[in-house]
């Protein structure tokens, strides 16, 4: 009878032991997952602080005076913030004029870049014409040429076109910078155009759309993430451009962009780090605003074309 009782109770004991072991394993996995999640987010916070610290230091420096810049060191705490630095750099740099020049160059370069790169990518994606492969190979080959090597040749070309030495130098800057990042933008848009089904083009043709009409009304609206990515990259590149504007706009105070005006200001006087920091903050604000509005398109614009096919 005792043996019978042991035989009846034994399966229940095994079930209880199994439940305890499974619960213990679940608890262990939860604890390990929690530790890993905490560690991961902790590392991300540290990395984020490392990335944004220079900008925070720059903003803090822009609120200090010349003496406290060196006394504060790497501290982000400002005891007596002074907004006069912004007023001084605003007047000394003629910020409204420089900002207008920068905005003009940036807007025109963005418009031309989107138009030319999207049309080129559309033609390469849609049409199968003789020499298409050779054109794509030639475009890729240009990526092997450092941009600095083209500064002198393009300068001589623009000088022969009488675009150097006066207000037309802005046009020279626009032309040079429009051609600067064409290849990357072309292939970025090309990857998105290739995700559009061929049947959609055929349906548009049956509806009476022309070749250009399909580009304008069908294909172009479907690659908005890529367009937003090109807008963001072009805006950041042109707004913060230094080398090309330096070559063409340095002797022309009325046509200088923000970066060149800031550098020229620093050369006229001793290096006033707090004033320079205020000018850098003014230059940086538009880029941050544009990035906030377009960031949700940025990653999808870079990856969408490679994930669909």
Tell me the DSSP string of 202-223: HHHHHTT--HHHHIIIIIGGGG
Which tops the pLDDT comparison, 281 or 92? 281
**Whether residue 51 is found in the same domain as residue 117:** no
Q: Look at residues 17, 46, 61 and tell me which one is the last residue of a structural domain.
A: 61
Query: Do 292 and 208 fall within a single domain?
Result: yes
Domain limits for position 232? 86-307
pLDDT given at position 45: 92
In a domain, 284, yes or no: yes
pTM: 0.79
Q: For the purposes of burial, counting CB atoms within 10 Å of the CB of 284, is it exposed (0-12), middle (13-18) or buried (19 or more)?
A: middle
CATH of the domain at 111: 1.10.3720.10
Cα–Cα distance between 239 and 303 in angstroms, integer?
25
Asked whether residue 56 falls in the same domain as residue 194, the answer is no
Same domain, 148 and 92: yes
What is the model's pLDDT at position 18?
Answer: 59
Whether 52 and 95 share a structural domain: no
**pLDDT tens string 35-48:** 888 888 899 999 99
Position 74 in a domain: no
Q: Given pLDDT bands bounded at 50, 70 and 90, which one contains residue 116?
A: very high
Residues 52 and 137 in one domain: no
Residues 48 and 6 reside in one and the same domain: yes
Q: Is residue 76 part of a domain?
A: no
Q: Are residues 36 and 100 in the same domain?
A: no
Predicted local confidence at residue 117, as pLDDT = 92
Q: Are residues 286 and 214 in the same domain?
A: yes
Same structural domain for residues 27 and 123? no
Q: Is 38 contained in some domain?
A: yes
d(CA 53, CA 194): 41
Question: CA–CA separation, 76 vs 125, rounded Å?
Answer: 51
Higher-confidence position of 16 and 51: 51
Q: Which residue did the predictor score with more confidence, 86 or 82?
A: 86
173, 244 Cβ separation under 8 angstroms: yes
Same domain membership, residue 218 and residue 175: yes
Which residue matches tokens 């630095």?
A: 85
Residue 79, in any domain of the structure: no
Predicted confidence at residue 17, as pLDDT, reads 60
Q: How buried is residue 61: exposed, middle or buried, by Cβ count under 10 Å (0-12/13-18/19+)? A: buried
Residue 302: inside a domain: yes
Number of structural domains the chain divides into: 2
Secondary structure (DSSP) of the chain = -HHHHHHHHHHHHHHHHHHHHHHHHHHHHHHHHHHHHHHHHHHHHHHHHHHHHHHHHHHHHTTS-HHHHHHHTT----SS--THHHHHHHHHTTHHHHHHHHHHHHHHHHHHHHHHHHHHHHHHHH---TTHHHHHHHHHHHTTS-GGGGHHHHHHHHHHTT-SSSTTHHHHHHHHHHHHTHHHHHHHHHHHHTTS-HHHHHHHHHTT--HHHHIIIIIGGGGHHHHHHHHHHHHHHHHT--HHHHHHHTT-GGG--HHHHHHHHHHHSS--HHHHHHHHHHHHHHHHHHHHHHHHHHHHHHHHHHH--
pLDDT exceeds 50 at position 6 = no
One domain for residues 244 and 145: yes
Q: What is the pLDDT of residues 187-244, one digit of tens each?
A: 888 888 888 888 888 888 888 888 888 888 888 888 888 888 888 889 988 998 889 9
- Whether 77 is covered by a domain: the verdict is no
pLDDT at 119 over 50: yes
């Amino acid at each position: 009878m005792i043996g019978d009782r042991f035989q009846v109770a034994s399966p229940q004991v095994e079930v209880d032991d199994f439940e305890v072991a499974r619960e213990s394993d679940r608890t262990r996995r939860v604890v390990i997952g929690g530790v890993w999640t905490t560690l991961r987010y902790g590392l991300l916070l540290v990395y984020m602080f490392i990335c944004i610290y220079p900008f925070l230091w720059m903003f803090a420096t822009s609120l200090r005076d010349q003496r406290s810049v060196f006394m504060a060191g790497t501290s982000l705490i400002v005891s007596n913030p002074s907004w006069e630095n912004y007023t001084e750099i605003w007047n000394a740099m003629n910020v409204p004029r420089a900002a207008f020049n920068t905005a003009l160059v940036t807007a025109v370069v963005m418009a031309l870049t989107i138009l030319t790169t999207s049309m080129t990518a559309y033609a390469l994606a849609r049409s199968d014409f003789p020499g298409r492969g050779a054109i794509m190979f030639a475009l890729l080959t240009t990526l092997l040429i450092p941009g600095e090597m083209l500064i002198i040749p393009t300068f001589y070309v623009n000088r022969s076109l009488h675009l150097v030495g006066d207000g037309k130098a802005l046009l020279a800057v626009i032309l040079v910078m429009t051609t600067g990042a064409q290849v990357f933008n072309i292939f970025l848009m090309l990857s998105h155009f290739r995700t559009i089904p061929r049947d959609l083009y055929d349906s548009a043709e049956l509806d009476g759309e022309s070749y250009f009409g399909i580009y304008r009304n069908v294909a172009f609206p479907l690659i908005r993430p890529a367009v937003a990515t090109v807008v963001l990259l072009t805006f950041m590149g042109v707004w913060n451009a230094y080398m090309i504007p330096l070559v063409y706009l340095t002797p022309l105070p009325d046509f200088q962009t923000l970066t060149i005006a800031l550098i020229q200001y620093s050369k006229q006087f001793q290096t006033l780090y707090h004033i320079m920091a205020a000018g850098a903050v003014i230059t940086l604000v538009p880029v941050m605003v544009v990035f906030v509005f377009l960031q949700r398109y940025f990653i999808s614009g870079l990856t969408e074309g490679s994930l669909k096919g």
